[in-house]
Amino acid sequence: MMRKLIALFSIAFVVSSCGRLDDIAYYNDNTIDQYYFDGWSEEGEFVLNDPAYFIDNNMINEVVLSSQGPDESTATPIYAFYIGDLATIGSDTIIVYCHGQSAHMDAYWSRVKLLANCGGKNRFGVLEMDYRGFGLSEGKPSEKGMYADVQACLDWLKSMNVEASNAVMYGFSLGSVPATEMAANSDYKVSKLILETPMASADNIGQESLLINFNTHYIVDLEFNNAEKIKKIDQPFLWMHGTADDYLKISNGEIIYRNYDGAYGEAHKVEGARHGSGGVPETLGFDEYLKIVEEFIVR
Q: Are 125 and 153 in contact (CB under 8 A)?
A: no
Q: What is the pLDDT of residues 38-50, one digit of tens each?
A: 988 776 678 888 9
Residue 276 backbone class (left: φ over 0; alpha: ψ -120 to 50; beta: rest): alpha
% residues pLDDT > 90 (the chain): 73
Q: HSE of 204 in the Cβ direction (CA atoms, 13 Å)?
A: 19
Q: What is the pLDDT of residues 68-88, one digit of tens each?
A: 999 999 999 999 999 999 999
Could you give phi then psi for residue 60, rounded to 5 degrees? -105, 105
Model-level pTM greater than 0.85? Answer: yes
Q: What is the pLDDT of residues 112-145, one digit of tens each?
A: 999 999 999 999 999 999 999 999 999 999 889 9
Cα–Cα distances in angstroms (integers) from residue 171 to residues 40, 49, 132, 187, in the given order: 22, 23, 17, 18
Check pLDDT > 60 for residue 299.
Answer: yes
| Mean model confidence pLDDT for the chain | 87
Q: Which residues pair with 77 in a beta bridge?
A: 66
Neighbours of 192 (CB within 10 A): 23
pLDDT in the model for residue 209: 46
The matching CATH number, chosen from 3.40.50.1820, 3.90.1150.10, 3.40.50.1970, 3.90.230.10, for 2-298 is: 3.40.50.1820
Measure the N-to-C terminal CA separation of the chain; round to a whole number of Å. Answer: 51
| Domains of the chain, residue spans | 2-298
